[in-house]
């Protein structure tokens, strides 16, 4: 009955069209490579040049500084730290941070905070609110998401997952994924209850930064890149085919691949949840493809958001060199970069048995850091050494007192996150941004 869709309680992407099986795209290598063809990539690149030109026209200078914001995963602690840092940056740049930012990219909790802040910025432009740097918004994003999530898991997912919601003529099961979105929507005052199509024009006109929301396809570890604009130029790394064989596509452009299934009707809340789908905590999201694929948290491949940013910079390096004075990557992390931990010298039978399994888990984010530093160095050299990275990181007041990595924070943890912006390393980063903003 599951096989033939008589019973189907799998979690789905709210807003995407599941009602037309005949329109579902085939998920195979040939289809993906056709989508990533040079002609398609060139079309989307030309469209993005126009967006870059629109962004530059709003800067008021021939050679502006362009910012790329990268945020890390880390549940509510990352969302809360992200909002704290963005508010402080906006304050010292006299409200110009979002104006000078072209792209926001990252993972999980950090993207919850960044998306909320971007929406606040848009509402300030529209005259709906006056201030975006108040404590109220920090309090909103730090509110609990964990209790309703697990309440739904017990009450609906396990015992009776029969309640449904209807969106655009499609029925979806109300499970813990829906409970997560509903609570996030309540916590943020309902302002993120939008669809992708609601952001298309504002991004095209350069009024707000673009946003890349990523998920990992469990079948083959490709990224599913969700953006309001087609980004087929992001699907493959740029390699000289005369020197090396053409690479496989490691990213799938969401709006192009699902073009016949109303991709722009996807809820923003759902796109954010897909980006933050930590296994078991939230249900994997299955997509209407042949064969079926599902997606999980972006952090499994790039927890810090820099991989996409560097590929974007590489694609548009000529435009950036001609039209900007500096390319600045602002990386907002919920954990220290390059932190040293002494090796665990304790040897037990249990540690001997579990070490092979825990090796990757314990070092996943370090492996990403090692790779991305090397990637950053290569991109910086190829782009004329005009790229700068400033890191803002959550450093707990007590080394063993870090805020928990979950969707729930205590009051003392919220206070600890707030005071982390006073860390000496973070203050140095703020001073650098302040210096550049005066020129």
Q: 197 pLDDT exceeds 90?
A: yes
Helix (H) or strand (E) segment spanning residue 381: helix 349-382
> Quick one: residue 338, left, alpha or beta (phi over 0 = left, psi -120 to 50 = alpha)?
left
- Please give the backbone phi and psi of residue 49, each rounded to the nearest 5 degrees, phi first: -60, -40
Instruction: Judge whether 345 lies within some domain.
Output: no
Instruction: Judge whether 295 lies within some domain.
Output: yes
d(C-alpha 255, C-alpha 258), whole Å:
5
pTM flag (> 0.85): yes
**Do the strands 101-106 and 170-173 form a parallel or antiparallel pair, or are they unpaired?**
unpaired
Using pLDDT thresholds of 50, 70 and 90, give the confidence band for residue 265: very high
d(C-alpha 269, C-alpha 406), whole Å:
18
408-425 pLDDT, tens digit each: 888 888 899 999 899 999
Nearest by Cα to 69 from 329, 327, 317, 301: 329
Q: 345 pLDDT exceeds 60?
A: no
**Do the strands 251-253 and 223-226 form a parallel or antiparallel pair, or are they unpaired?**
parallel
Residue 156: its pLDDT value, please?
55
Residue 24: its pLDDT value, please?
95
SS3 category, 118: helix
The sign of the CA dihedral 211, 215, 221, 224 is negative
Residue 262: its pLDDT value, please?
94
What b/e readout covers 179-189, taking b as 16+ CB neighbours within 10 angstroms?
bbbbbbbebbe
Query: Is the link from the previous residue into 291 a cis peptide, with omega within 30 of 0?
Result: yes
Using pLDDT thresholds of 50, 70 and 90, give the confidence band for residue 16: very high
Using pLDDT thresholds of 50, 70 and 90, give the confidence band for residue 298: confident
Q: 323 pLDDT exceeds 80?
A: yes
d(C-alpha 274, C-alpha 168), whole Å:
19
Q: 287 pLDDT exceeds 90?
A: yes
43-47, 56-60, 150-154, 333-337: which range is least confident on average?
Answer: 150-154
173-182, 276-285, 357-366: which range is least confident on average?
Answer: 357-366
Neighbours of 7 (CB within 10 A): 9
Residue 224: its pLDDT value, please?
95
Using pLDDT thresholds of 50, 70 and 90, give the confidence band for residue 74: confident
Using pLDDT thresholds of 50, 70 and 90, give the confidence band for residue 93: very high
The sign of the CA dihedral 204, 210, 212, 213 is negative
Q: Which residues is 215 bridged to in the sheet?
A: 224
Residue 333: its pLDDT value, please?
87
Q: Are 298 and 275 in contact (CB under 8 A)?
A: yes
Instruction: Judge whether 80 lies within some domain.
Output: yes
Mean pLDDT of 354-365: 60
Output 198 or 154, whichever has higher pLDDT: 198
Alpha-carbon separation of residue 31 from 44, 222, 253, 309 (angstroms) = 18, 14, 12, 25
Instruction: Judge whether 143 lies within some domain.
Output: yes
Using pLDDT thresholds of 50, 70 and 90, give the confidence band for residue 278: confident
219-235 pLDDT, tens digit each: 998 999 999 999 999 99
Neighbours of 1 (CB within 10 A): 7
Q: 315 pLDDT exceeds 60?
A: yes
360-386 pLDDT, tens digit each: 556 666 666 666 666 666 666 666 668
Q: Are 107 and 308 in contact (CB under 8 A)?
A: no
| DSSP annotation string for 322-360 | HH-SEEEEEEEESS-TT----------HHHHHHHHHHHH
Mean pLDDT of 92-118: 93
Neighbours of 8 (CB within 10 A): 13
Residue 321: its pLDDT value, please?
92
Instruction: Judge whether 12 lies within some domain.
Output: no
Using pLDDT thresholds of 50, 70 and 90, give the confidence band for residue 11: confident
106-147 pLDDT, tens digit each: 988 899 999 999 999 999 999 999 999 999 999 999 998 777
Residue 329: its pLDDT value, please?
94
239-254 pLDDT, tens digit each: 655 556 677 899 999 9
Residue 258 DSSP symbol: T
Instruction: Judge whether 363 lies within some domain.
Output: no
Alpha-carbon separation of residue 410 from 8, 143, 145, 418 (angstroms) = 37, 9, 12, 13
Instruction: Judge whether 343 lies within some domain.
Output: no
d(C-alpha 372, C-alpha 307), whole Å:
7
User: Apex CA 277: angle with CA 257 and CA 331, to 5°?
Assistant: 90
pLDDT > 90: what percent of the chain?
55
Q: 200: domain range?
A: 21-338+385-433
Residue 300: its pLDDT value, please?
80
Rg (CA), the chain: 21
Across all residues in the chain, what is the average pLDDT? 85
**Do the strands 326-333 and 387-393 form a parallel or antiparallel pair, or are they unpaired?**
parallel
* Domain total of the chain: 1
Instruction: Judge whether 183 lies within some domain.
Output: yes
């Amino acid at each position: 009955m599951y096989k033939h869709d008589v019973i189907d309680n799998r979690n789905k992407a709210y807003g995407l069209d599941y009602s037309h099986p005949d329109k579902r795209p085939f998920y195979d290598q040939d289809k993906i490579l056709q989508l990533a063809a040079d002609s398609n990539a060139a079309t989307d690149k030309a469209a993005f040049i126009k967006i870059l030109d629109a962004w530059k026209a709003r800067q008021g200078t021939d050679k502006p500084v362009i910012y790329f914001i990268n945020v890390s995963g880390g549940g509510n602690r990352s969302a809360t730290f992200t909002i704290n840092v963005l508010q402080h940056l906006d304050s010292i740049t006299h409200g110009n941070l979002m104006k000078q930012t072209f792209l926001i990219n990252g993972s999980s909790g950090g993207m919850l905070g960044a998306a909320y802040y971007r929406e606040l910025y848009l509402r300030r432009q529209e005259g709906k609110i006056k201030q975006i740097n108040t404590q109220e918004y920090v309090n909103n994003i730090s509110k609990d998401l964990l209790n309703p999530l697990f309440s739904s898991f017990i009450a609906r997912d396990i015992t009776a997952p029969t309640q449904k919601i209807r969106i655009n003529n499609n029925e979806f099961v109300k499970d813990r994924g829906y409970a997560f979105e509903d609570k996030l929507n309540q916590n943020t005052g309902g302002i993120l209850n939008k669809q992708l199509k609601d952001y298309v024009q504002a991004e095209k006109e350069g009024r707000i930064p673009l946003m890349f929301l990523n998920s990992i396809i469990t079948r083959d570890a490709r990224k599913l890149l969700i953006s309001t604009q087609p980004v087929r130029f992001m699907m493959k790394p740029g390699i000289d085919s005369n020197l090396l064989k053409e690479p496989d596509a490691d990213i799938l452009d969401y709006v192009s691949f699902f073009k016949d299934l109303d991709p722009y009707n996807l809820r923003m809340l759902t796109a954010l949840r897909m980006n933050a789908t930590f296994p078991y905590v939230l249900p994997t999201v299955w997509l209407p493809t042949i064969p079926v694929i599902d997606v999980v948290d972006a952090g499994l491949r790039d927890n810090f958001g820099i991989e996409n940013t560097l590929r974007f910079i590489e694609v548009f390096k000529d435009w950036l060199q001609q039209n900007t004075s500096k390319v600045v990557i602002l990386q907002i992390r919920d954990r220290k970069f390059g932190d040293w931990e002494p090796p665990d010298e304790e040897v037990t039978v249990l540690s001997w048995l579990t070490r092979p399994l825990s090796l990757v888990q314990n070092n996943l984010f370090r492996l990403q850091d090692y790779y991305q530093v090397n990637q950053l160095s290569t991109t910086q050299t190829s782009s004329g050494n005009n790229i700068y990275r400033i890191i803002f990181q959550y450093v707990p007041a007590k080394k063993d007192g870090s805020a928990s990595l979950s969707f729930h924070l205590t009051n003392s943890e919220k206070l600890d996150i707030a005071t982390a912006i006073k860390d000496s390393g973070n203050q140095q980063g703020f001073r650098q941004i302040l210096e550049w903003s005066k020129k």
